[in-house]
Structure 1
Amino acid sequence: MKGNELRQAYLQFFENKGHLKLDSFSLIPDNDPSLLLIGAGMAPLKPFFTGKLVPPRTRITTSQKCMRTGDLENVGRTARHHTFFEMLGNFSFGDYFKKEAIHWAWEFLTEVIKLDKSKLYVTVYPDDEEAYNTWLNDCGVPADHISRLEDNFWEIGEGPCGPDSEIFFDLGPERGCGCDDCAPGCDCDRYLEIWNLVFTQFNKTATGEYEPLAKKNIDTGAGLERLASVLQNCESNFETDLIFPIIEATAKKAGVTYHTDANTDVSLKVIADHARAVTALISDGVLPSNEGRGYVLRRILRRAVRHGRLLGIEGPFLTPLVDVVVDILGPGIQSIAEKQDFVKRVVANEEERFNQTLAQGLDLLSSLIDSLVDEKATVLPGTEVFKLYDTYGFPWELTEEIASERGLAIDHEGFDAAMQEQRTRAREARASEDAKVATPDITYLANETLTEDESATESEVLMIGKGSDRIETAADGDEVTIIVRSTPFHAEGGGQLGDTGFITGPMGKMEIHNTKRLPEGTVYHIGTVVEGSLNQGNKVQVNVDVARRNSMARNHTATHLLHAALKTVLGAHVNQAGSLVTPGYLRFDFTHFSPVTQEELNQIEYLVNEEILKATDVAIAEMSMDEAKEKGAMALFGDKYGDVVRVVEVPGFSVELCGGSHVGNTAFIGTFRLISEAGIGSGVRRIEAITGAAAVEAARHDRETISEMAATLKTKPNQVQERLHQVLEEAKSVERELADIRKDLAATGVADVVSAKVMVNDVPTVLAMVKASDMDNLRDYADKGIEQLGSGVVLLASVNEDKINFVCKVSKDVVKRGAHAGNIVKAAAQAAGGNGGGRPDMAQAGGKDPEKLNDALRAAGEALKAMLG
């Protein structure tokens, strides 16, 4: 059975058992700052397990994309470690429990995919008699195939927890450790865990008590790649049809053969795994950057490139592998298939950037090794190895290989310590984020009818939350969340900030700072009680800051017009990669792989304003996703949509799915003005713009600025540009004259310096201090000095702002005798607390301690003497 067939068989099996099949959630967690990326099948469903949100159905099944990078170094070195993988899962929220979960797992494994029953083993928690008896009596698993293990209990601190039961497949004694007591749970590879059933039946309290849950849950997980490896009789997950075609394509590119060399195999596996991860991350909207998810993506992609280098591949090679990944995963994961071209462009751009970075790293490593060899060192410090690894993407293996060629070992302990320090910082950062998560329990509102109505002015308080607790009363000064029966407030989303305003009750008033939406759709308001108190059940007045909302509506509709104009001017490849809609301005990030020219920006701005001047009514309607696609509606990258979507259309120009606030007619935008355009990452550009009153104010400010400039330049406002060019040309002319004067002065002043030359091993040498205004001036002195000297060495120094600048020039005939300007100037700079270097014939450097100027000149002379022998 192929991997895609296995995924489909699993989902269809549980659909037939009454489960709602959901598409894989994005790898980007929704409204959960405790997670950087989704790392488990149940992670997107956490609010349903904790009981804080009502699930769309009490039975759900998914094949969830997952990403784990905690043990990145093991990828490719073991049979099962991956960064990206899929977790098959069936979940029950207060519906069925142990018996059904066990029966269905056994039925799927033995009757649907027909695994050999004699090779299946299970483990249970020692006290879980119900699970043990179900396996033994109902499923007929022999007693000697059932183990009781203390580890079979799932908990993560306080909260829902319970025993679990794992299913193992016996891969045969040839894969084992050879011990007589080898059994499931052994560290060897013989018994492969293929399924885990978690029976969430307790709530662990702060005091350590295990209280029975009123509604028990089921959380199961089966690794798609692991199951495929068993069905396809593969030695590891990497040989399955879900991964092996990528290995084959890479091996062909590198001109190597799989299974002939252990190190080669590791690199092939790393590249195959990372190609899948990179494709999945980018298709879900993650883009390369130096922080957060973008850093994870960049690190994985660069690690793949490094292993390509280890295989001998020169230049870009990852982009064609994206096609292979899409061929494999696209049939089962729609988002990957839809974003194929975009993923390839991001990968190509990032790989090219990294190849340049890699070259810089090689130069840095070479310079570092040169210094250590000069110092007679034998070990490359671990901190430097880690810097190369972390900043330039060098694996320590590559650093070790290059260092060993020059007779240096690397400090493994220092490297490991630096790596551990980074991991500790990362854990602390995640723990800090964990503390911010606080979602009130709203399951008691399941039967309430909550509405969103822009015209609502009165409502009722249904819930007040403080942190993760529900409270009855919020007093003056309390920062709380609040849910009302009918709200006119727009929730944050689609890049638009949430509405602000006031909620006023009979005894108090609350200022709303932001409005957000829970994953299942409930709108909640965040704010501070500024007068008196509010109680649950209060009848309240709800007042949105309408002026602020109208400003955001102008900017939001303008964002849609901008998106359409970008596609028209730059091409259909342009897609939204992030946005922000505020009352003061709009920001739009989009995919494009070169700077936008001024001419293109002018066209974009013109198209948007042209649509504004047409005074077109904006049409907003709710419809099915299929109907929206028929209309050509654009879905914003990374946003999530239900079966019924809201479509915002500017007829004949723009159609997008959007839940934000918009103007009723494009004329209400007033005017649109671009204020900046820049690159913000690999293949991503950012435009900022203003509308309405902000655009009018900007125009007024520009007019006043031009008037002031005209007055300063003594001309008319409409002649400022012409006059400014004239002034700049005059300034350039004066600058050229000054430069000529400086050179003449240098020629005059350097004669005295050259006359004070000394002989170093019969080479005329000038080692002197001069007064120079800057480094350019100092170079002029050195040029004139070597010109007057004819043959020899000139090292000049000047002191500026408590620093020393050095310039060294060496004539070609003296270079042939072994003199090296870069090393001469380096010796001088180091003697004065600095560093530097350069070419054999010309170099410059800087020193930090002017008091050591004489020491620096003396060190330069000694260095030259050593070179000349």
Structure 2
Amino acid sequence: MQWTGLNDLREKYLSFFESKGHLRLPSFPLIPKDDNSLLLINSGMAPMKKYFTGEVTPPRKRVTTCQKCIRTPDIERVGITARHGTFFEMLGNFSFGDYFKKEATAWAWEFFTKVLEMPADRLYISIYQDDDEAFDIWTKQNGVDPSHMVRLGREDNFWEHGSGPCGPCSEIYFDRGEKYGCGKPTCGVGCDCDRYVEVWNLVFTQFENDGNNNYTPLDHPNIDTGMGLERLACVMQGVDNLFLVDTVQNIMKHISRIANVQYGADEKSDVSLRVITDHIRSTTFMISDGVMPSNEGRGYVLRRLLRRAARHGRLLGINHPFLADVVDTVIHENECAYPELREKSAMIKKVIAFEEENFYKTIDKGFALLNDIIDRTDAKVLSGEDAFLLSDTFGFPIDLTKEILSEKGMSVDEDRFRALVLQQRETARASRKNAGADAWAGDSDVLDDIAKTEFVGYTGMKATAKVTAIVKDGARVEAVETGDDIVFTLDRTSFYAESGGQVGDTGVITNDSCTIRVLDTTKNAAGVFIHKAVVEEGFLREGDTVEAVVDVERRRAIMRNHTAAHLLQAALRSVLGDHVEQAGQLVNENAVRFDFTHFSALTDEELLAVENLVNKKILEDIKVECREMPIEEAKKLGAMALFGEKYGDVVRVVTVGEFSKEFCGGTHIDSTAKLGLFKLVSESSVAAGVRRIEAVTGLNVIKMIYATNTLLKDTAVAMKVNNPSDLPAKAAQVNADLKEKDREIESMRSKIASMNLGSILDNAVEVKGVKIVTAMLSGTGSDALRTMCDKIRDEKSDTAIVAVLAGVLDGKATLAATATKAAQAKGVKAGVLVKAVAQLTGGNGGGKPDFAMAGVKDQTKIDEALAAVEKILSEQI
């Protein structure tokens, strides 16, 4: 068989199944759509589950794809072995109630033996032990030698997950040769050695499991196959693992050049090269599909991969950010199949560079914290809490923590650490489970028979329509009357349904018999517009003809704000750079809220430039055009797509001259001049690498000006200033006066505290030659506590004295501890002591051997904690 590159293998496979009547679909995004059960797409069939269940009609009964996938359970193993990887591509051909075993097996055999010219004598087939039908088809129809057929049990060759569709499967193995074998006489398919590698799995979904292991044959059985592209490439290229496949190896070579190391020269370096190679592939594709770094969910997976890659860069001696440079090679090797990588290259590199630079900052803090913890403790085991803090807050991987500790003869409480990690995962899983609930889920079933609504609201604010369904209290009804809260559907409507960040319309529907107030409009997955309403007068019946009239003033305000969102994005890209992408938006009648990718707070100059540019385009009175066109034409036009969104063959494009061109299904004004004015209200952070701007347009700008003027006048009166323009100077003066008074008050408190020091020392108790002082001081802050501790430490240095003082000021409680030189000589460490005392209150803290401070969580436990000082200290001395 002939050496074949990974990209050619992908194209050969997809073209082959196109020739067999399959529709080639592009890879679905890695972010699951309408599926809260998955964090990231992890198999070829995952994004098509609803096709198999019948919830959604597939575009054709025969489909083939090459699907991007991420699997995360073995992240810690990636790099340690050459087998594990996070990102991979899954080739698949699917039949939704069309062909079955005969065709699936025949085409698989043809593709391997005819197209790829694999030697038949090196191919082996496994089947489910009871699937005689599959055995006969493979041997009699396809001509497979019966000696190359292997029957395996349910665990290996029967696909099912609880109840639902299931069935036997057939796996195709490739014999890599004796040199990869274990040498045992029993070596064969199913052996743990590396000789026989499973390449392709054909699942024959032919039964329905009721959950009690009762299997009923399906009327229309399905075919679901999956073949790892990288694994196939390993076979066709004669290499041992995915890291030696051509496209992946080219990425690794780039990393090797940066690090000046050679793959295969040193196992430790090889681990790091494999980690970086896999993780930069994964993160490049994840960011391209809209995943952004965060501390939870898929964003946490992304952050974890980037930090792990950056750390292994350090292990290779790379002491500067470098991952963004490798992105160019990842894109070059994959853009023939995934052109969106090139389109998003600036964005991808910006996100990775920002995250890597932040990691370099946090990991240095992590090193400092870990070293401080080591210096402050006599224990030989680092607590699970400290290890988790290092990992979760500072991105300090547990294996790095273990490595550093082992060099100092210490270990970590891994059981407790794992328990905390598991607790975090369970919390995240629960939040995912509760996320994204459909507000109209209760109504979806009762509207299953309703045809898709015709939307006529782009061109008009009212429409004559027929009532197709009425829902009250979750059930279909034929008629409703005054006072009823209802949900209803129309065959056509002028009301825009909430989508794309634009809120749904409100308004009224009327006829001779009723007046209905529409409070909100949404739509379900089938494209049925759902009007939430209350019957204000009269009665409404299913089948009635009504006049549906949108609240015109509200809609126009929404349209102004939606067009403003487009102008805002274009202005941000002009001022900040092409890395800016929409990350979310909310457009209503009051304001526009726009989330976008950027990596630092905007300066006053940048905000002013953005605002001025939008207003300049408003004054230019540019025509706003909305039209539908084929997606390829839209891309040639240069229209921007929503980050990570999947579109159909025909899209709606909104253009504002040459300034802005975007895919958009929302409603817009027809000229920029109709925005009137544009004013930024706020700019803030939403998540790492995501900023948010809120702005207003039109009459809302006027309202904002009125409100601001009123606020200035009221503030001037309160500050006893005649002219509002004098407010800045007056505020600065008042602030300076308050700071001076605060200094005077704190100075007085410190003096009072020092005056009380004598009586506090008089109450000292002695334990093993060390005098112990404890006190609870109301009205005493951290500065006063520090002053008292300094005085005890400096004036009594020759005497073995330890003081633990608690102070409460303005509702905040603080602990401070000091140990004189004589006390330290006996083994006392103030940092260790105050931490142990603070933990009795639910707080935490630490510091140096001579002075340390800690926070208090539960003030009711301060007395109990101070009483425990003697016992805690006696264990230290």
Query: If the TM-score is normalised by the length of the shorter chain, which range does it land in?
Result: 0.7 to 0.9
Provide the residue aligned with 1:184 in structure 2. 189
Query: Which of 12-21 and 844-853 deviates more?
Result: 844-853
Provide the residue aligned with 1:722 in structure 2. 726
Does residue 132 (structure 1) correspond to residue 112 (structure 2)? The answer is: no
- Provide structure 1 residue ranges, at least 5 long, that are not aligned to the other structure: none
Query: Which of 792-801 and 276-285 deviates more?
Result: 792-801
CA–CA separation in structure 1 for the residues paired with 2:51 and 2:557: 37
Q: Is the 8 A contact 1:831 1:855 kept in 2?
A: no
**Of 387, 401, 407, which aligns to 2:403?**
401
- State the 1:7 CA deviation: 1.0
- State the 1:597 CA deviation: 1.4
Query: Which of 20-29 and 160-169 deviates more?
Result: 160-169
After superposition, what is the alpha-carbon deviation per residue over 1:192-251, rounded to whole angstroms, capped at 9, x for unaligned? 221122233344456765444444432222111010010011111121113223333334
**Of 381, 397, 404, which aligns to 1:379?**
381
Q: Is the 8 A contact 1:836 1:844 kept in 2?
A: yes
Query: Which of 48-57 and 821-830 deviates more?
Result: 821-830
**Of 606, 611, 614, which aligns to 1:605?**
611
After superposition, what is the alpha-carbon deviation per residue over 1:703-747, rounded to whole angstroms, capped at 9, x for unaligned? 21111112223334xx32424413422541564376368648857
Does residue 636 (structure 1) correspond to residue 642 (structure 2)? The answer is: yes
- State the 1:816 CA deviation: 12
Distance 1:756-1:424 versus aligned 2 partners, 3 A rule: closer
CA–CA separation in structure 1 for the residues paired with 2:287 and 2:853: 44
SS at match of 1:29: coil
Distance 1:587-1:508 versus aligned 2 partners, 3 A rule: closer
CA–CA separation in structure 2 for the residues paired with 1:661 and 1:114: 55
CA–CA separation in structure 1 for the residues paired with 2:126 and 2:795: 89
- State the 1:117 CA deviation: 1.1
Does residue 732 (structure 1) correspond to residue 720 (structure 2)? The answer is: no
Distance 1:790-1:750 versus aligned 2 partners, 3 A rule: farther
CA–CA separation in structure 2 for the residues paired with 1:479 and 1:166: 56
Provide the residue aligned with 2:298 in structure 1. 293
Q: Is the 8 A contact 1:795 1:806 kept in 2?
A: no
Does residue 56 (structure 1) correspond to residue 59 (structure 2)? The answer is: yes
Q: Is the 8 A contact 2:502 2:666 kept in 1?
A: yes
CA–CA separation in structure 2 for the residues paired with 1:138 and 1:380: 64
Provide the residue aligned with 1:800 in structure 2. 808
- State the 1:580 CA deviation: 2.1
The residue identity in structure 1 corresponding to 2:147 is D
- State the 1:582 CA deviation: 2.8
- State the 1:825 CA deviation: 6.6
Does residue 585 (structure 1) correspond to residue 591 (structure 2)? The answer is: yes
Does residue 516 (structure 1) correspond to residue 516 (structure 2)? The answer is: no
Distance 1:827-1:582 versus aligned 2 partners, 3 A rule: same
Q: How many residues align?
A: 853
Q: Is the 8 A contact 1:831 1:852 kept in 2?
A: no
Distance 1:24-1:482 versus aligned 2 partners, 3 A rule: farther
Distance 1:824-1:80 versus aligned 2 partners, 3 A rule: closer
- State the 1:427 CA deviation: 5.5
SS at match of 1:556: helix
SS at match of 2:56: coil
Alignment of 1:418-457 (within 5 A): 418-422=420-424, 451-454=454-457, 455=460, 457=463
After superposition, what is the alpha-carbon deviation per residue over 1:82-140, rounded to whole angstroms, capped at 9, x for unaligned? 22111112223333332222222111111111112111111223444443322112211
After superposition, what is the alpha-carbon deviation per residue over 1:473-506, rounded to whole angstroms, capped at 9, x for unaligned? 7999999997754343434433223445678999
Q: Is the 8 A contact 1:361 1:392 kept in 2?
A: yes
Does residue 197 (structure 1) correspond to residue 205 (structure 2)? The answer is: no
SS at match of 2:246: coil
Query: Which of 22-31 and 851-860 deviates more?
Result: 851-860
**Of 9, 13, 18, which aligns to 1:10?**
13
Structure 1 length-normalised TM: 0.84
The residue identity in structure 1 corresponding to 2:239 is C
Alignment of 1:211-250 (within 5 A): 211-250=216-255
CA–CA separation in structure 2 for the residues paired with 1:126 and 1:645: 50
- State the 1:343 CA deviation: 1.0
- State the 1:438 CA deviation: 9.2
**Of 675, 681, 705, which aligns to 2:681?**
675
Does residue 490 (structure 1) correspond to residue 493 (structure 2)? The answer is: no
CA–CA separation in structure 2 for the residues paired with 1:202 and 1:859: 68
SS at match of 1:242: helix
Alignment of 1:507-656 (within 5 A): 513-516=520-523, 518=525, 522-525=527-530, 544=550, 546-656=552-662
CA–CA separation in structure 1 for the residues paired with 2:693 and 2:269: 45
- Provide structure 2 residue ranges, at least 5 long, that are not aligned to the other structure: none
Provide the residue aligned with 2:175 in structure 1. 170
- State the 1:16 CA deviation: 2.2
Provide the residue aligned with 2:148 in structure 1. 145
Q: Is the 8 A contact 1:225 1:242 kept in 2?
A: no
The residue identity in structure 2 corresponding to 1:362 is F
Q: Is the 8 A contact 2:806 2:862 kept in 1?
A: no
Q: Is the 8 A contact 1:76 1:269 kept in 2?
A: yes
Distance 1:81-1:840 versus aligned 2 partners, 3 A rule: closer
Q: Is the 8 A contact 1:91 1:220 kept in 2?
A: yes
Provide the residue aligned with 1:278 in structure 2. 283
**Of 70, 74, 78, which aligns to 2:77?**
74
- State the 1:279 CA deviation: 0.4
SS at match of 2:647: coil
Q: Is the 8 A contact 2:251 2:329 kept in 1?
A: yes
Distance 1:850-1:530 versus aligned 2 partners, 3 A rule: same
Distance 1:150-1:488 versus aligned 2 partners, 3 A rule: farther
The residue identity in structure 1 corresponding to 2:743 is A
Does residue 336 (structure 1) correspond to residue 344 (structure 2)? The answer is: no
The residue identity in structure 2 corresponding to 1:333 is Y
Query: Which of 475-484 and 33-42 deviates more?
Result: 475-484
After superposition, what is the alpha-carbon deviation per residue over 1:422-462, rounded to whole angstroms, capped at 9, x for unaligned? 5555555566669978996999989x786322246344567
Q: Is the 8 A contact 1:121 1:146 kept in 2?
A: yes
Q: Is the 8 A contact 2:582 2:594 kept in 1?
A: yes
Q: Is the 8 A contact 1:489 1:515 kept in 2?
A: no
SS at match of 1:184: coil
Provide the residue aligned with 1:120 in structure 2. 123
Instruction: Among all aligned residue pairs of Structure 1 and Structure 2, give the percentage whose two residues are the same amino acid.
Output: 45
Distance 1:587-1:771 versus aligned 2 partners, 3 A rule: closer
Query: Which of 791-800 and 157-166 deviates more?
Result: 791-800
CA–CA separation in structure 1 for the residues paired with 2:350 and 2:532: 43
The residue identity in structure 2 corresponding to 1:592 is H
CA–CA separation in structure 2 for the residues paired with 1:765 and 1:382: 31
CA–CA separation in structure 2 for the residues paired with 1:766 and 1:416: 39
Does residue 42 (structure 1) correspond to residue 45 (structure 2)? The answer is: yes
Q: Is the 8 A contact 2:627 2:652 kept in 1?
A: yes
The residue identity in structure 1 corresponding to 2:10 is R
After superposition, what is the alpha-carbon deviation per residue over 1:135-165, rounded to whole angstroms, capped at 9, x for unaligned? 1122111112122334333333444333322
Q: Is the 8 A contact 1:795 1:825 kept in 2?
A: no
Q: Is the 8 A contact 1:52 1:442 kept in 2?
A: no
CA–CA separation in structure 1 for the residues paired with 2:14 and 2:485: 44
**Superposition RMSD in Å:** 4.6
Distance 1:192-1:445 versus aligned 2 partners, 3 A rule: farther
Q: Is the 8 A contact 1:556 1:660 kept in 2?
A: yes
Provide the residue aligned with 2:68 in structure 1. 65
SS at match of 1:589: strand
- State the 1:283 CA deviation: 0.9
Provide the residue aligned with 2:355 in structure 1. 350
CA–CA separation in structure 1 for the residues paired with 2:493 and 2:827: 75
Structure 2 length-normalised TM: 0.84
The residue identity in structure 2 corresponding to 1:722 is D
CA–CA separation in structure 2 for the residues paired with 1:266 and 1:481: 59
